[in-house]
Amino acid sequence: MFPLHVAIKRGATGLSFKNVNMSVSACVQLTNIFSGSELTSVAIEDSHIFKNEEEVRLHHINLKSLEVIVLKNIDIHSFYRVPELNFIKNMMKPVRRTSMINTKVFAIPCQSTIHFTNLEVLDISDNTIADRTLMEMMCYGKEDVLLNLRTLNISKNSLSSINSKLFTRLEKLENLDMSRNSFDSMPSTCSWPASLKFLNLSSTSLPEVTSCLPQSLQILDLSRNKLTVFNIELPLLKELYISGNKLGNLPDGHLYVSLASLRVLEAAGNPY
């Protein structure tokens, strides 16, 4: 740990760990070392984290400058069944951008999410989040959590339904990526935040779309699904991606108040 002490003392603002084997107690010890530093970003990638018997107490954490946490391609058995990993939530209050990509995350408890008060970007793609655990992460849409969130990426998880009510309170949410999940259907109506501009539902096995799609959208990606028709009016839409479906015709022009606003239409790979 000595070189880290030196780096921190000399004012390092970013640290990245790659291809390392690290115990949970070592992670806690690192957090203790970081406390009081000027670190703005911490990343652990392509690494293995394991639980050991050594117990290291977490001191009072002072990481007021920390803005970015990246955990990517982490091999750890049952992420949230290791209680010691609760140290992560104690680091989250000042953080603005967090990625937990391919880290075997299956749940983020509501009692952790409530600490993410300044978070603007959350990427938890390529994990095993299911409908029930997403509801838990969002505190069932009943609590004021993630109110500063602008971008949420929950692609490539284990979701099977679109539950817009979980996001209604997120009045700053602009970008939502739910691609590469498996949705057999879409609700007939939904309630989305008026701020939502980008929605990615590509590669989700959708056979049809409904008026559930938010009217505020400017960019919509429905590529690589099973759509046979697209007839939803989205007056603010600027980019539409519908390639790789089963469409017999292009969307009717009357669906758009002003065709001049539609700048991009990608519709290749359909049996016209």
pTM score over 0.95: no
Q: pLDDT, tens digit, for every residue of 150-174?
A: 999 999 999 999 999 999 999 999 9
**Whole-number Å distance between alpha carbons of 170 and 148:** 7
Q: Which amino acid is at 84?
A: E
**Whole-number Å distance between alpha carbons of 95 and 24:** 21
Say whether pLDDT at 259 is over 60. no
Looking at per-residue pLDDT, the higher value among 259 and 102 belongs to: 102
| Cβ count near 97 (within 10 Å) | 17
Residue labelled with tokens 């999940």? 181
Produce one character per residue of 2-35: b if its CB has 16 or more CB atoms within 10 Å, e if not. Answer: eebeebbeeeeeebeeeeeebbbbbbbbbbbbbb
The C-alpha R_g of the chain, in whole angstroms, comes to: 21
Say whether pLDDT at 83 is over 60. no
Question: What are the tokens at 258?
Answer: 């002003």
Residue labelled with tokens 């780096």? 7
**Whole-number Å distance between alpha carbons of 81 and 105:** 10
Say whether pLDDT at 175 is over 80. yes
Q: Characterize the bridge pairing of strands 121-123 and 68-75.
A: unpaired
| Cβ count near 232 (within 10 Å) | 18
Say whether pLDDT at 219 is over 70. yes
- The secondary structure of 115-147 as a DSSP string is T-TT--EEE--SS--BHHHHHHHTGGG-S--ST
Polymer length in residues for the chain: 272
Beta bridge partners of 153: 123, 177
User: Which range is least confidently modeled, 70-79, 86-95, 183-192, 234-243?
Assistant: 86-95
Say whether pLDDT at 95 is over 90. yes
Find the mean pLDDT for residues 98-122.
93
Residue labelled with tokens 């209050």? 93
Q: What is the CATH number of domain 105-266?
A: 3.80.10.10
Find the mean pLDDT for residues 134-152.
95
Question: Tell me, what's the pLDDT at 7?
Answer: 73
pLDDT confidence band for 84 (50 / 70 / 90): very low
Say whether pLDDT at 77 is over 70. no
Question: Tell me, what's the pLDDT at 8?
Answer: 75
Contacts of 179 (CB under 8 A, 6+ apart): 155, 156, 200, 201, 202, 203, 204, 221
Q: Domain ranges in the chain?
A: 105-266
Most confident of 15-24, 126-135, 245-254: 126-135
Question: What are the tokens at 172?
Answer: 């700053």
Question: Tell me, what's the pLDDT at 143?
Answer: 83
| Residue pair 150/174 in contact by the 8 Å Cβ criterion | yes
Question: Tell me, what's the pLDDT at 82?
Answer: 47
Residue labelled with tokens 């690290």? 22
Can you say how many angstroms the Cα of residue 97 is from the centroid of all Cα atoms in its chain? 10
Find the mean pLDDT for residues 75-97.
69
